[in-house]
Amino acid sequence: MTAPTGIPQRESWATRAGFILAAVGSAVGLGNMWRFSYIASEGGGAAFVLLYLVIVLIVGIPLMTAEFVVGRMSQESPARALKRLGGKAWAPLGWLFVFCGLGILSYYSVIAGWTMRYAVDAVRNAIPEDTAAYFAQVSSGGDAVIAHLIFMAITVYIVASGVKKGIERASLIMMPLLFLILIGLALWAATLPGGGAGYAYYLKPDLRRLLEPEILADAAGQAFFSLSLGMGALMTYASYLKSEENLGREAATVAFADTGVAFVAGLVVFPVIFSFGLTDQVSESTVGALFISLPKGFELLGRLGDYIDTAFFVMLFFAALTSAISLLEVVVAALVDVWNLPRRATAIGAGAGIALLGLPSAYDTDILGASDQLVGNFLLVVGGFFTALLVGYKLLTQADAELSKGLANQTLRRRWAMLIRYAVPVILLGVIASGLRPTWQALRTLFGV
């Protein structure tokens, strides 16, 4: 491709590790750190974890492979690529991705803002004893808005700095630290007296729960959100790939890293809560457990607790930030590739718009929850469904050729094609159907009817 003079060449990743860590950074986020373990404990413990693994294998990895393949094949933002590759009828899917990026980041940044505030106060040793009152203060009104705006500004700064100097560098620094902190915390949690009851609560298998239809929808919705699927985030990242590695293997690596982090996070959260006798808040609200019970537990440890809560909230902040940059990148890449806009100005403009869009969520957690249901849960699955149709029925020959560059094994590629054509759409149709009712509720909340 020859770029017209004056327009700089499109960027690409400097290293394979940079791409992988950026993709894992997108996947590992707030979704892993609290949502997974709670859905698991309520949805049948170890039995849920098994169901989740099956979904990751049958739906998650094939779809992630599809996103990677389309991204690398197109070398441009999905907002442009889907129209060019699939024809006019597929253009809206690219813009749905952009809408999801805007929509999710608008409220994600609000929760990330709380996390950032906790991390800063933990470093300063300023988290008060009454963590419930502290959380109420942090998560409402002016405090929440300011934290949201600062978090958006940091995200914009990284994305504006470019793929290599911004996203790749940030991921190379933050992700290894995140892994180290998480492993350290899990080992520490294993030493807590009385923590065993926490593991039992988290993982006690309850097979009957698996027969309930909502469990499948919960597991699939969680998998999409956690794996960053269905809105072109990983497609956009893969569009900066030049090398011809095995995209199936890369997808499996990212999916296992993400699932592993989610699983291990539960091994931290539950022993702490049980060891300190804070169980009454567990079933009430997931947010409450993370922002109220855990810091309370850390508080009871005195000096050691000060280090531990710093480590915990810094880890959460890194997780949120590396996910937020991928959400913003989908929007920025679309505007840059479609209209040839300069990256820096586009990142600032898009970030400002998203910051404004997030204000209602910063003020009202009902709006936050409804946006999460509509975009984070439902529209991602819709996006994934159409992506599977596009790749499985319209682009299969091209996609198979692209995948074959790094994956010579034809049997594996055939299996992948079968999953994308049949298993993924059928399962997702079921998930979409079971999500209609809660989504309708969410729409009513958002539009106040």
Contact residues toward ligand PHE (CB under 6 A) are 26-27, 29-32, 104, 225-226, 228, 231, 233, 323, 326-327
Minimum gap (Å) between residue 424 Cβ and ligand PHE:
17
Q: What residues contact 356, with CB distance under 8 A and at least 6 apart?
A: none
Cα–Cα distance between 363 and 197 in angstroms, integer? 37
Closer residue to ligand PHE in complex, CB, 27/388: 27
Minimum gap (Å) between residue 72 Cβ and ligand PHE:
18
Minimum gap (Å) between residue 291 Cβ and ligand PHE:
16
Closer residue to ligand PHE in complex, CB, 90/237: 237
Closer residue to ligand PHE in complex, CB, 41/115: 115
Cα–Cα distance between 369 and 373 in angstroms, integer? 6
Cα–Cα distance between 49 and 262 in angstroms, integer? 10
Cα–Cα distance between 217 and 442 in angstroms, integer? 16
Closest residue to ligand PHE, Cβ-based?
A: 29
Closer residue to ligand PHE in complex, CB, 47/257: 257
Minimum gap (Å) between residue 401 Cβ and ligand PHE:
27
Cα–Cα distance between 437 and 449 in angstroms, integer? 15
Cα–Cα distance between 297 and 135 in angstroms, integer? 14
Closer residue to ligand PHE in complex, CB, 231/273: 231
Cα–Cα distance between 2 and 140 in angstroms, integer? 51
Closer residue to ligand PHE in complex, CB, 294/407: 294
Q: Could you count the other beta carbons within 10 Å of the beta carbon of residue 357?
A: 16
Closer residue to ligand PHE in complex, CB, 323/439: 323
Minimum gap (Å) between residue 26 Cβ and ligand PHE:
5
Minimum gap (Å) between residue 333 Cβ and ligand PHE:
13
Cα–Cα distance between 416 and 404 in angstroms, integer? 12
**Joined tokens for residue 262:** 């989610």
Minimum gap (Å) between residue 31 Cβ and ligand PHE:
3
Minimum gap (Å) between residue 262 Cβ and ligand PHE:
8
Q: What residues contact 319, with CB distance under 8 A and at least 6 apart?
A: 28, 29, 30, 32, 33, 178
Query: CB of 315 within 8 A of CB of 178?
Result: yes
Closer residue to ligand PHE in complex, CB, 122/380: 380
Nearest in space to 238 (alpha carbons), one of 2, 26, 3, 4: 26
Closer residue to ligand PHE in complex, CB, 278/334: 334
Closer residue to ligand PHE in complex, CB, 47/330: 330
Minimum gap (Å) between residue 301 Cβ and ligand PHE:
27
At position 182, the amino acid (one-letter code) is L
DSSP for 278-309 reads -GGGTTT-HHHIIIIIHHHHHHTTTHHHHHHH
Q: What is the b/e burial string over 246-284, where b = at least 16 CB atoms within 10 angstroms of the residue's CB?
A: bbbebbbebbebbbebbbbbbbbbbbbbbbbebeebbee
Cα–Cα distance between 179 and 218 in angstroms, integer? 26
Minimum gap (Å) between residue 126 Cβ and ligand PHE:
26
